[in-house]
Amino acid sequence: MVKGKTKSGIAFQLDERIKDDARLMHLLVKMQEPMEDAMLAGKLMNQLLALVFGSDDGVFAFMNEVAEKHNGVCSTQAMLEELTEMFDAIKAKN
How is the chain split into domains, by residue range? 2-93
Neighbours of 80 (CB within 10 A): 14
Residue 20 to residue 24: CA distance in whole angstroms: 8
Cα 57 to chain center, whole Å? 14
Please tell me the predicted confidence (pLDDT) of residue 26: 92
**pTM of the complete model:** 0.84
pLDDT tens, position by position, 12-57: 999 989 989 999 999 989 888 877 777 788 888 899 999 999 988 9
